[in-house]
Structure 1
Amino acid sequence: MSSWQKSSYSGESNECIEVRTAEGMVELRESETYDVIIRTTPRKWVAFLLGVKAGEFDHFGS
């Protein structure tokens, strides 16, 4: 199990999403509610990240 990681953009803020790998899965949690963990597959996580980078979720002003 790897340690929780957060974006360097969050700085010292405790309002961020943290990510780690555990037992072949990707786990995510919100730093303020660390007891709630979402699990997904690495393939789905990569697809989500690629969608974010491609702007698929940018709906501001739509």
Structure 2
Amino acid sequence: MSRSEWQKSSYSGASNECVEVRTVDGMVELRESDDGEVIVRTTAVKFAKFLQGVKAGEFDHLGDLCS
């Protein structure tokens, strides 16, 4: 099994409230650092498309749901 270490954004600093990412056997895994038991798995292609959507602002309206 090919597995990388969990990584978090450098923007997170010392905070434990962030999303961590790693690869396992060609798949991308994501988890919240404060709840490491819940892991979401996806393909590298789908993850790349998700990141493109984030950068393009496709999900910005969802921030209104947290207010």
3-state SS of paired residue (1:18)? strand
Number of equivalenced pairs? 61
- Identity within the alignment, %: 69
Partner residue, 1:24 = 26
Partner residue, 2:57 = 55
User: In angstroms, what is the RMSD of aligned CA positions?
Assistant: 1.2
Please give the TM-score of this superposition, normalised by the length of structure 1.
0.92
Q: Which runs of 4+ in 1 moved over 6 A?
A: none
Structure 2, unaligned stretches of length 5 or more? none
Please give the TM-score of this superposition, normalised by the length of structure 2.
0.86
Structure 1, unaligned stretches of length 5 or more? none
Structure 1 letter corresponding to 2:46: K
Structure 2 letter corresponding to 1:24: G
Structure 2 letter corresponding to 1:48: F
